[in-house]
Structure 1
Amino acid sequence: MRAEIQNYVTQIEKSLELLAQRMDKETAPHRLEEFDARVEDPNLWDNAEAAQKLMRERQMLVDAMETYNGINQDMADNIELIEMGEMEDDAEVVAEAEESLSALADKAAKKELEALLDGEADSNDTFLEINSGAGGTESCDWASMLARMYIRWAEKKGYKVELQSESAGEEAGIKSAAYKITGHNAYGWLKSESGVHRLVRISPFDSAAKRHTSFTSVKVYPVVDDNIEIEVNPADIRIDTYRSSGAGGQHVNTTDSAVRITHHPTGIVVTSSEKSQHQNRDIAMKALKSRLYQMELDKRSALVNEAHENAGDAGWGNQIRSYVLQPYQMVKDLRTSHETSDTKGVLDGDLDGFMAATLALDVSGKSRAEAQGN
């Protein structure tokens, strides 16, 4: 078997090894039997929430088993075809099977990354906040570019994006914006984007065409689902209503319907200005609970905690990713060293490579490959 074909097989086997670990392959059949027995219980739906949770957990296990078995069988089938083709000196069969193995290696790697999204809230929807930092008008414009980038990324994933609140920049762009992004694993994918993003370019707002550096911070919080209880003491919060100062058009309220909630113990402030006052109050309260839940998650996860500590002031020393448009073109993540010269693609939402590289980090901050090599 040629070295290139063996390389595909090795890649697939490594992905299968991780998939097996994630679903605990040895106990999976027994756990599925237990799920099936509980599903047949005639009293299962007496508690709808518990039943739905059970059905979700069962389906996740079924999907994991089918993914593992499917990839494993496809690999074995293609290896058998290659061996037959080599024995019969049929180059066409070997070439077709090799191409299939290459595609299977890519599929396995993708499934491997998806398997890493097994955190407590990874499957949840998410809130995404963008705040301009050092750099004035340039930073506000950069914030609007990042907002567009994440919206494009979400659309490619088939996710739903809802604008929660927005504050326009004085000359261009946005000072801040908050979005709710709905879709399976939305939080799991986006959580690694928390931090400060640095842009270097020739400023379109500088008549001297000088190079400028600007910063914008991104913060990501999971939407807390109904199964997670977060207690908020009414005495700990202040609720204010005000008139929105959005970018114009449909996003500007003509009445004091926007809502701001301040949580005194933590200093967290959340706003919503896109709906009626009643809806805004509900949206802001959910956002507050999500922020409080994220704080709890940060205590349990060294990696996420580090990311959010880096998401401090939007300025020098806190950036997680650098986007250089002048004097050369390069986007580089400072945590993983993952980089690309396709700056246009990244700003159009091609972020999976960066997210995947961060997901592949273990809690010590090393890539899995580095960790396995030690």
Structure 2
Amino acid sequence: MAQPNFWANPHPAYETLQEIEYTIFYIHKQYQRWCSILEEIKTALELLATSPDEQLLQEAQANLAQLQQELETAEIRALLTNSDDQKGAFLTIKAESDDADGQEWAYILLKMYYQWANKHNYQIHLLEESGGDVSGIKSATCEITGLYAYGFLKSELGIHQLQRLSPFETSGNLRTSLARVEVSPILDESIDLVIPDQDLQITRWQWHGQNINHPEIWVRVVHIPSGITVFCEQERSQLENKKQALAILKSKLVAIALAQGVKSIADIQPGEIKSLSSQIIREYVLHPYTKVKDLRTKVETTNVQDVWNGDIDFLIKAYLQQQSYMTVEKSS
């Protein structure tokens, strides 16, 4: 707002002020809620000091756990300062191999993010899923809507590695499986991003005749310059699938442009796209010991099952704190 041209265009200026107003209102409401929960816990402790009550104790413990979770979430949100952080997210998971272990691993990650989204009361909608040959999935794309979904999930971009004894083999050998996670923000409809028609290859299922009871409605969109492919099949019509596929494609292109530090999608370097999500960021070990370790922050835990149940906020927080610290270091 301190920029001289901030007031030159009233519409974006008004939207910025609305966002600030909402943020202040949201923080105030949250603070009131936390104070109320804290008072309930204090009252319960005073009552328990004079008269033991198992039900009251359980309620107090539940309130405390809830308060701690909400304060943890608020602390993470304080680290999210980029303009896209408040947006929802498109999340894509891809098995890096065609074997059953790799495809099962991709499915485990998909379930992990579903449970994480549910814990945060986010809406999650499956846009595309390609089933595995024996088990699991080859790939899946989800739309996760809710405040700060992208800000949280951008920490998950990269390769996730699993080490375990294969449940699909009897050899007893260790298997290492890899799955790629891609994350991009859901763009506002007001963002006018035009992709030239000549840069797009759109494939639809074609049917002929009058007796098709269940016509396929999938749509595949390829961005020719970058090679990015998006496939959608979960919407009710081909038109809706095409619209969703283009929305995901634009989201991915914007995220790539930001990561590469270029101002236009026309300036994206195709050769550098895959490297953005090719780093192994986290390892999950089930044998000969149990451990989840983030290779960027070195934060780890031995409770793999909790992580797979969606308890990944401590990993997200550590990464965001690291990025915040690095940003401060660069600017100083």
TM-score under structure 2 length normalisation = 0.75
Partner SS state of residue 114, structure 2: helix
- Is 1:290 paired with 2:254? no
Map of 1:12 onto structure 2: none
Map of 1:20 onto structure 2: none
- Is 1:332 paired with 2:332? no
Partner SS state of residue 279, structure 1: helix
Map of 1:14 onto structure 2: none
Q: Could you tell me how far 1:62 is from its partner in structure 2?
A: 4.3
- Is 1:357 paired with 2:318? yes
Looking at secondary structure, tell me which structure has more helix per residue.
Answer: 1
Map of 2:277 onto structure 1: 311
Map of 2:202 onto structure 1: 239
Map of 2:239 onto structure 1: 278
Q: 1:130-159, CA deviations, whole angstroms, 9 ceiling, x for partnerless residues?
A: 000136210000000000000010011101
1:141-220 alignment runs, 5 A limit? 141-220=104-183
The separation in 1 between residues aligned to 2:85 and 2:274, in whole angstroms, is: 16
Map of 2:226 onto structure 1: 266
1:23-42 alignment runs, 5 A limit? none
Q: Could you tell me how far 1:51 is from its partner in structure 2?
A: 5.2
Q: How many residues align?
A: 285
Partner SS state of residue 184, structure 2: strand
Contiguous gaps of at least 5 residues in structure 1: 1-23, 28-37, 39-43, 73-91, 93-102, 244-252, 313-317
Partner SS state of residue 135, structure 2: coil
Contiguous gaps of at least 5 residues in structure 2: 36-48, 50-65, 207-212, 263-271
Partner SS state of residue 322, structure 2: coil
Residue pair 2:98, 2:138 contacting (<8 A) in 1 also: no
Give the letter aligned to residue 136 of structure 1: D
The separation in 2 between residues aligned to 1:308 and 1:123, in whole angstroms, is: 25
Map of 2:305 onto structure 1: 344
Residue pair 1:240, 1:259 contacting (<8 A) in 2 also: yes
Q: 1:194-215, CA deviations, whole angstroms, 9 ceiling, x for partnerless residues?
A: 1000001111100223221110
Q: 1:79-113, CA deviations, whole angstroms, 9 ceiling, x for partnerless residues?
A: xxxxxxxxxxxxx9xxxxxxxxxx99987664332
* CA gap 1:104/1:221 in 2 versus in 1, 3 angstroms: closer
Give the letter aligned to residue 323 of structure 1: Y
The separation in 1 between residues aligned to 2:318 and 2:273, in whole angstroms, is: 14
Give the letter aligned to residue 132 of structure 2: G
The separation in 2 between residues aligned to 1:56 and 1:157, in whole angstroms, is: 21
Give the letter aligned to residue 232 of structure 2: S
Map of 1:137 onto structure 2: 100
* CA gap 1:352/1:69 in 2 versus in 1, 3 angstroms: same
Give the letter aligned to residue 117 of structure 1: L
Partner SS state of residue 335, structure 1: coil
Give the letter aligned to residue 149 of structure 2: A
Q: Could you tell me how far 1:339 is from its partner in structure 2?
A: 0.5
1:89-100 alignment runs, 5 A limit? none
* CA gap 1:126/1:267 in 2 versus in 1, 3 angstroms: same
Partner SS state of residue 170, structure 2: coil
Residue pair 1:241, 1:260 contacting (<8 A) in 2 also: yes
The separation in 2 between residues aligned to 1:211 and 1:205, in whole angstroms, is: 11
Give the letter aligned to residue 125 of structure 1: G
Residue pair 1:331, 1:343 contacting (<8 A) in 2 also: yes
The separation in 2 between residues aligned to 1:255 and 1:107, in whole angstroms, is: 46
Residue pair 1:196, 1:310 contacting (<8 A) in 2 also: no
Q: Could you tell me how far 1:234 is from its partner in structure 2?
A: 1.5
Partner SS state of residue 361, structure 1: helix
Q: 1:290-326, CA deviations, whole angstroms, 9 ceiling, x for partnerless residues?
A: 011112221349xxxx9973512xxxxx310000011
The separation in 2 between residues aligned to 1:307 and 1:351, in whole angstroms, is: 26
The separation in 2 between residues aligned to 1:319 and 1:307, in whole angstroms, is: 15
Residue pair 1:195, 1:308 contacting (<8 A) in 2 also: no
Partner SS state of residue 216, structure 2: coil
The separation in 2 between residues aligned to 1:71 and 1:349, in whole angstroms, is: 23
